């Protein structure tokens, strides 16, 4: 087994908590946070349930001490909120002391602001600033500015695997010696854009999402942001830093099937997991817990389940669960919040329950773990699969 890249800090905000501790507490105590939507006026309000962060935009402005004239989108605000926590958690006081970068994932960017001002900004020049924060890169720039990062800043947008790819890119930049330290993760706020988009695709559930259940009806959207601090072994040693866990494997593969669906046998998912095992030098049987993508759409869970069965062939599939019943599917942030949950699983030796599960799927014999379980966890595999067939797998290991 290879050593992997050190994780030295984490920060998170999601519907189940405004900090790492609050999130972990919710996971332990089955406090899911799927509710009716409060912050967005939408015709679907009575039909859909979402994982919404209950802080309002003005509360976030206060938390971040932004000026009244700011043009932060909600995505940028929750991103900055989580990234600041991560930097603090890593004990970083002088951000540019080492070659430090930021790789931030998002899929909606500043869409919330664009939706608000789209029909008025042509005639009202004061509103243009809210449109100029639309692109994904603006979110990363704003977070970098809040953190004072002067090094590499870049954005990854590969739909629901975005944050996995940002963690993967960060780990590779550390491994290749291009950076000493990198803040990686993702952020996505709820927006009409995603609500209507997923609604049109008919993959939103009108109930609580039930991953890997035969009667699953689709996903609940969520909003969240999470960031990890990755540091080179040199920096870790020099500063005698505590390593929370390590990124030991990663893989990204192309499913080559459809713009918005996964192939029936999960070819891309299978390849992503296979590559991650190759990078880590681990065998499938070394994994103690799989945090599945498990969106609870008919298509994902079938495709992912089949891919897992292919990876494990005749071996026993380890305990697995989806944490999306707690948080909803947080799109470009999903792999980042699930990375935080994976590290917490390793640190605390817990398998999270796959809530809402009742009936096994008829296509195969795979049952997620449905109650909290304490056991030693050395390695966690976390899947994230995006539209466009962009499939990613991360493996986290005990340091």
Please report, as ranges, the residues that interact with another protein according to CB under 8 A: 119, 197, 200-201, 253-260, 267-268, 271, 388-389
* Cβ-based nearer residue to another protein, 188 or 267: 267
Most distant CA atoms of the chain, gap in Å: 64
Distance in Å, CB of 345 to another protein, minimum = 30
**319-321 and 289-291 as β-strands: parallel, antiparallel, unpaired?**
parallel
Give the strand order in the sheet containing 181-188.
Answer: 153-156, 100-105, 181-188, 224-231, 5-14, 245-254, 390-397, 379-386, 289-291, 319-321
* Cβ-based nearer residue to another protein, 354 or 390: 390
Say if residues 315 and 285 touch (Cβ distance below 8 Å).
yes
Distance in Å, CB of 302 to another protein, minimum = 19
Question: What 3-state DSSP class applies to 342?
Answer: helix
* Cβ-based nearer residue to another protein, 356 or 384: 384
* Cβ-based nearer residue to another protein, 318 or 389: 389
Phi-psi region of 320 (alpha: psi -120 to 50; beta: other; left: phi over 0): beta
* Cβ-based nearer residue to another protein, 23 or 384: 384
CB burial class (10 A; 0-12, 13-18, 19+) of residue 15? Answer: buried
Q: Which of 263, 293, 253 is nearest to 381 (CA)?
A: 293
* Cβ-based nearer residue to another protein, 93 or 259: 259
* Cβ-based nearer residue to another protein, 29 or 200: 200
Rounded to whole angstroms, the Cα distance separating 399 from 395 reads 12
Distance in Å, CB of 5 to another protein, minimum = 20
Distance in Å, CB of 337 to another protein, minimum = 25
Q: Residue 331 is encoded by which pair of tokens?
A: 């799109």
* Cβ-based nearer residue to another protein, 143 or 332: 332
Tell me the chain's radius of gyration from C-alpha atoms. 20
**Residue 163 CA to its chain's centroid (Å):** 5
Say if residues 104 and 333 touch (Cβ distance below 8 Å).
no
Distance in Å, CB of 203 to another protein, minimum = 12
**Residue 202 CA to its chain's centroid (Å):** 22
Residues 6+ apart with CB under 8 A from 167: 184, 185, 228, 230, 247, 250, 335, 336, 339, 394
* Cβ-based nearer residue to another protein, 95 or 261: 261
Q: Which of 323, 332, 374, 362 is nearest to 30 (CA)?
A: 323
The DSSP letter of residue 207 is S
Distance in Å, CB of 392 to another protein, minimum = 13
* Cβ-based nearer residue to another protein, 186 or 318: 186
* Cβ-based nearer residue to another protein, 197 or 349: 197
Distance in Å, CB of 257 to another protein, minimum = 6
Distance in Å, CB of 309 to another protein, minimum = 19
The DSSP letter of residue 18 is S
Rounded to whole angstroms, the Cα distance separating 172 from 154 reads 14
Distance in Å, CB of 285 to another protein, minimum = 25
Distance in Å, CB of 388 to another protein, minimum = 6
Distance in Å, CB of 304 to another protein, minimum = 16
Rounded to whole angstroms, the Cα distance separating 122 from 315 reads 61
CB burial class (10 A; 0-12, 13-18, 19+) of residue 118? Answer: middle
């Amino acid at each position: 087994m290879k050593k992997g890249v050190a994780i030295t800090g984490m920060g998170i905000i999601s519907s189940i908590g405004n900090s790492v501790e609050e999130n972990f507490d919710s996971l332990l105590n089955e406090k899911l946070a799927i509710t009716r939507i409060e912050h967005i006026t939408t015709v679907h309000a009575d039909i859909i349930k979402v994982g919404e962060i209950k802080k309002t935009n003005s509360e976030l402005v206060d938390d971040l001490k932004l000026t009244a004239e700011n043009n932060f989108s909600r995505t940028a605000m929750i991103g900055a909120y989580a990234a600041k926590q991560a930097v603090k958690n890593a004990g970083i006081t002088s951000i540019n002391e080492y070659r430090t970068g930021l790789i931030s994932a998002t899929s909606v960017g500043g869409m919330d602001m664009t939706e608000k001002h789209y029909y008025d900004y042509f005639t009202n020049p004061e509103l243009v600033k809210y449109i100029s924060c639309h692109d994904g890169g603006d979110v990363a720039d704003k977070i970098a500015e809040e953190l004072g990062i002067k090094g590499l800043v870049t954005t990854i947008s590969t739909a629901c695997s975005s944050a996995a790819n940002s963690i993967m890119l960060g780990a590779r930049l550390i491994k290749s010696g291009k950076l000493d330290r990198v803040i990686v993760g993702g952020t996505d706020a709820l927006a009409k854009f995603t609500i209507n988009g997923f609604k049109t695709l008919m993959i939103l559930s009108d109930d609580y999402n039930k991953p890997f259940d035969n009667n699953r009806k689709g996903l609940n959207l969520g909003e969240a942001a999470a960031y990890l601090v990755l540091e080179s072994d040199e920096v870790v040693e020099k500063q005698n830093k505590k390593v929370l866990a390590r990124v030991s494997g990663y893989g990204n593969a192309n499913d080559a099937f459809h713009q918005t669906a996964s192939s029936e046998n999960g070819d891309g998912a299978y390849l992503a997991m296979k590559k991650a095992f190759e990078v880590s030098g681990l065998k499938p049987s070394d994994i103690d817990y799989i945090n599945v993508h498990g969106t609870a759409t008919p298509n994902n869970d079938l495709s992912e389940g089949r891919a897992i069965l292919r990876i494990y062939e005749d071996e026993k599939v380890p305990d697995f669960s989806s944490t999306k019943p707690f948080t909803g599917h947080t799109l470009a942030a999903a792999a980042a919040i699930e990375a935080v949950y994976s590290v917490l699983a390793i640190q605390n030796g817990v398998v999270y329950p796959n809530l809402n599960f009742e009936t096994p799927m008829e296509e195969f014999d795979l049952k997620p773990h449905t109650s909290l379980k304490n056991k030693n966890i050395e390695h966690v595999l976390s899947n994230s699969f995006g539209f466009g067939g962009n499939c990613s797998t991360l493996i986290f290991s005990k340091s």
